Amino acid sequence: MILTVTLNTALDITYRVRELRPHTSHRVTEVTERPGGKGLNVARVLAALGHQVTATGFAGGATGRTLKEQLTRTHGLVDALVPVAGATRRTIAVVDQSTGDTTQLNEPGPVITPAEWSAFLQAYDDLVRSAAAVALCGSLPPGVPVGAYAHLVRTARAAGVPVLLDTSGEPLRRGVAARPDIVKPNADELAELTGSHEPLQATRDARRRGAHTVVASLGAEGLLAVNTEGRWRAAPPRRLTGNPTGAGDSAVAGLLSGLVDHLPWPARLARAAALSAATVLAPAAGEFDRRTYEELLDQVAVTGEVTAA
């Protein structure tokens, strides 16, 4: 079982409009509604790949009930979300069909009480013991300690369970210091963490801060991975246009899938890059175009060298 943690779950709503223009009314051509938050996106992709997944985090209010109801439709996914009094947030993605660009609006999330946080920690302690790997993903809702991910990383490591961290800002800075097995920042998050805008230098600096492996998402340039075994770059053969929301989450799913399948790092990165690219063609985050994924899997170019990083 792979455990995903989404402390700030969301109900993702995607609107498609012919052309997005400020200060005007728009007629929406298509609406999709899905369970969201980075960890739930990861969980749904993993389930689609055939893995058994348990999703935990928080859910509350009418939005939370809708989210949980929709999760029941995902085969292979077990809902272990902890109930809270506040309402789960919504995220709104507006896709401009004329350009393919997406505008994202993210609500802050419910305020988590100390009692609710304690209840989550107990649930997490119980779940992590039977996990093959753990993904800690996304932002922290109000009320959750800024060092939350550092605590969860240490708990997983104490249980001997590999842990991947995908967050940003101060939660990332503190989480990295707890020595996660993998961190997966994008270019901006990596630069904020290290102060360097040169990807290779920044990934090396992030490793010195505590991460065993750093996998950086570089947008259309693909993925860069650095660890003690070496360094590699993986990129799809062509750039796909569509909705990029959730592409990074699919990359996380690919990395975790490759980890539990005991793939070597180049094959893990190829899987992650192919999934990330195939997500751009899907209608919403947490999904991917399977035909495109299978085509790209053998076409992703992975270059690098086995050397001390």
**Residue 118 neighbours by CB under 8 Å, 6+ apart:** none
Measured distance CA(120)–CA(122) in Å, rounded: 5
Closest Cα to residue 219, out of 269, 143, 159, 276? 276
Which amino acid type is present at position 29?
A: T
Measured distance CA(303)–CA(212) in Å, rounded: 20
Give the pLDDT confidence score for residue 294 in this predicted structure: 82
Give me the sheet containing 102-106, strands edge to edge. 28-36, 10-17, 89-96, 102-106
Measured distance CA(1)–CA(131) in Å, rounded: 5
The helix/strand/coil state of 52 is coil
As a 3-state breakdown, the chain gives helix, strand, coil percent values, each rounded to 5, of 35, 25, 35
Record the tokens describing residue 42, joined without a space: 């990861």
What positions carry a catalytic annotation? 249
Query: Does 115 score more than 90 pLDDT?
Result: yes
pLDDT band for position 293 (50/70/90)?
Answer: confident
Which amino acid type is present at position 83?
A: P
Q: What is the pLDDT of residues 10-33, one digit of tens each?
A: 998 989 899 999 899 999 999 888
Query: Region 67-86: what's the mean pLDDT?
Result: 95
CA distances for 55 relative to 4, 20, 121, 137, angstroms: 5, 34, 14, 11
Closest Cα to residue 5, out of 166, 170, 229, 183? 166
pLDDT band for position 309 (50/70/90)?
Answer: very low
DSSP bridge partners of 71: none
pLDDT band for position 284 (50/70/90)?
Answer: low
pLDDT band for position 240 (50/70/90)?
Answer: low
Query: Does 155 score more than 50 pLDDT?
Result: yes
Query: Region 64-90: what's the mean pLDDT?
Result: 95
What is the pTM for the complete model shown? 0.91
Record the tokens describing residue 89, joined without a space: 């947030």
pLDDT band for position 185 (50/70/90)?
Answer: very high
Q: How many CA atoms lie within 13 A of 82 on its CB side?
A: 23
Q: What is the pLDDT of residues 194-226, one digit of tens each?
A: 999 898 899 999 999 999 999 999 887 889 999
